[in-house]
Chains A and B, each alone.
Chain A
Amino acid sequence: MTIMDTIKSAGFYLAVAVIVLVAVFPFYYAILTSFETGTALFEVNYVPSSLDWSNYATILNNGTFPRNVLNSLFVAATTVAFALFLAVTASYALARVRFRGRGLLLMTILAVSMFPQIAVLAGLFELIRFLNIYNTPWAMILSYTIFTLPFTVWVLTTFMRDLPLEIEEAAIVDGATPWVIITKVFLPLLWPALVTTGLLAFIGAWNEFLFALTFTSSETTRTVPVAIALLSGATQHETPWGTIMAASVLVTVPLIALVLIFQRKIVAGLTAGGVKG
């Protein structure tokens, strides 16, 4: 190995180290801060200096945070279940049946998922008031459909399109109806795709902020992102950084764990449709 090669590989590993450090450091620092209280909070530390669980005790025992977590879980789970239920049949039709205007319909669905959400905020506000679900979880469940449904339809369609023709042909020759084909032939093959799509839609619903902020008005109906954004201290000018970081770590650790467990599938789901198009 020449000197040039050594420098090259050293430079390469330096680049790798910088990428990892930049990606991980902010969250590491949030964890560090979440274990600090009082004056320790206001001294800059690069390595852990204290292990004080009181921020976690504060966030879990006082206030509405546990309630907000339950709200988020309920909203995200219901939204995803609903979207997947509608998307399985719809994506079968879009992926496996030829009909006029299919391309246009697919483009429309993609367009809806790319919508600026603010463009429908006024109309949704009216609809939610009309349905009398303002300040309830149902307001979020209804409004989140605007991005979870097109997304799930889109990803499941690209997945189903790639399945070979033959698996369906035998069933058609046997005279199976489209409904039987979906439930007996496709659904068993779809499970992996359903898990990935569901997980991505769940993360999207869990993180949503604009609708949750606009369609709730009391602390007990807020979802987690709104609760964290509006968490305030004893006085208006004092931001409770310790408890904010504790809350942030609590809601992020499960998410990171899920993402790392399913990382291969998630990468595949994210790139489905996008790269192949």
Chain B
Amino acid sequence: MTNAITTTARPAIERRQLNLQQQRVRAAFWFLAPMLVMLFLVAAWPLFRSIYFSFTNVTLNNLYAGEWIGFDNYLSWRTLSSGRTIWRGTLVDPAWWNAVWNTVRFSLVSVTIETILGLLVALVLNAEFKGRGLVRAAILIPWAIPTIVSAKMWSWMLNDQFGIINDMLLNLGLIDHKIAWTASVETAMVAVLIVDIWKTTPFMALLCLAGLQMIPRDIYEAAKVDGVHPLRVFFNVTLPLVRPALMVAVIFRMLDALRIFDLIYVLTPNSKATKTMSIISRENLIEFDKFAYGSAQSTLLFAIIAVFVAAYMWLGKLDLSGEGR
């Protein structure tokens, strides 16, 4: 920005440039300050307090009467006189590990299916055909519907007695009795996956489509002239070129999936089969009056996500900041 003047450097000009740069940096600081103060107030400080609470025994109604109890919310043990050791804390809580497993399972399955379906939809939308704009508008609809509304819509459609999904499947002869999709332990996760995939595939498709449209068309024309099989073109040309866009889309979706809360809260409340880390943390924090214990669980979720992001960025050599362009 300061190399606008390219004549032989004279001290006076250099000093002026230096002053200008200094002035800009100082202005930048003041421009950034309000945003940084705000982010500190709503993000850094609450995060710090949540982590702090996880090392105390505070309760919901009395946030200031707690004592420091170290790692007891995470793990503690006591050896009885009989020689038996009793373990306590989140890390030996089967309900917590169930939630971890549910979250991981949900995230991996949903993001995998959404990526594949999103790529397929994007490939369809990338072709030239009549009414493409309309189709693109149509797939924006699931994305635009609030999560809570889609959860309610689908829990009505998946209703065991009067739901249209059971009716369709019965008419098609795919099932012989009505399924309690959201209530039964075996199908609750499937129900959550169906709704999540329906709602988020459009987002994936749009990100993939943006990636696809940056690939120059002449590559495909060259491949066509050479008579290369379309599948080979896809795996050798399209996929490598769309990979950076895909990597970013996958991590955004993954982070969203790992913290899922609202869909499950509405669609399958209190089902052990779908309870995720966010659900169980909030339960302990707000509903069960185990504020400190819930803080420990939310801190663990934060740690898991932080490690995941760091690993992903390191392995994928991602530069999300866009500085390296």
- Same complex for A and B? Answer yes
Q: Which one of B32, B131, B144, B299 lies within 8 Å of A252 (CB-CB)? A: B144
Residues of chain A with a CB closer than 8 A to B98's CB: none
Q: How far is the CB of B318 from chain A (nearest CB, A)?
A: 7
What mask results when residues 114 to 130 of chain A are scored 1 for a CB within 8 Å of chain B, else 0?
A: 11111111111111010
What mask results when residues 17 to 31 of chain B are scored 1 for a CB within 8 Å of chain A, else 0?
A: 000110111011101
A214 touches B286 (CB 8 A): yes
B211 near A: Cβ within 8 Å? yes
A121 touches B35 (CB 8 A): no
A73 near B: Cβ within 8 Å? no
A263 near B: Cβ within 8 Å? yes
Residues of chain B with a CB closer than 8 A to A117's CB: 259, 261, 278
Q: Which one of A29, A267, A270 lies within 8 Å of B164 (CB-CB)? A: A29
Instruction: Check A260/B140 contact, CB under 8 A, given A89-B34, A118-B281.
Output: yes
Residues of chain B with a CB closer than 8 A to A209's CB: 147-148, 261-262, 265
B150 touches A26 (CB 8 A): yes
Which of A47-55, A59-67, A142-150 contacts the other chain? Answer: A142-150
Q: Which one of A19, A96, A127, A274 lies within 8 Å of B245 (CB-CB)? A: A274
**How far apart sit A107 and B306, CA to CA, in the bound complex (Å)?**
13
Residues of chain B with a CB closer than 8 A to A142's CB: 42
What mask results when residues 197 to 239 of chain B are scored 1 for a CB within 8 Å of chain A, else 0?
A: 0100011001100110010000000000000000000000000
A270 touches B261 (CB 8 A): no
Interface size on B, residues (CB 8 A): 104
B255 touches A172 (CB 8 A): no
Interface residues of A in 7-36 (CB under 8 A from B): 12-13, 15-16, 19-20, 22-24, 26-27, 29-30, 33
Closest chain A residue, CB of each to CB of B64: A126
Instruction: Check A115/B137 contact, CB under 8 A, given A241-B156, A252-B146.
Output: no
A127 touches B156 (CB 8 A): no
A194 near B: Cβ within 8 Å? no
Q: Which one of B27, B43, B63, B144 lies within 8 Å of A115 (CB-CB)? A: B43
Residues of chain B with a CB closer than 8 A to A206's CB: 146
B295 touches A259 (CB 8 A): no
| Interface contacts beyond A169-B4, A248-B149: sample of 4 additional A-B pairs, CB < 8 Å, sorted by A | A20-B135, A29-B156, A97-B25, A259-B144
6 contacts between A and B (CB under 8 A): A29-B156, A90-B35, A107-B320, A118-B298, A143-B42, A251-B146
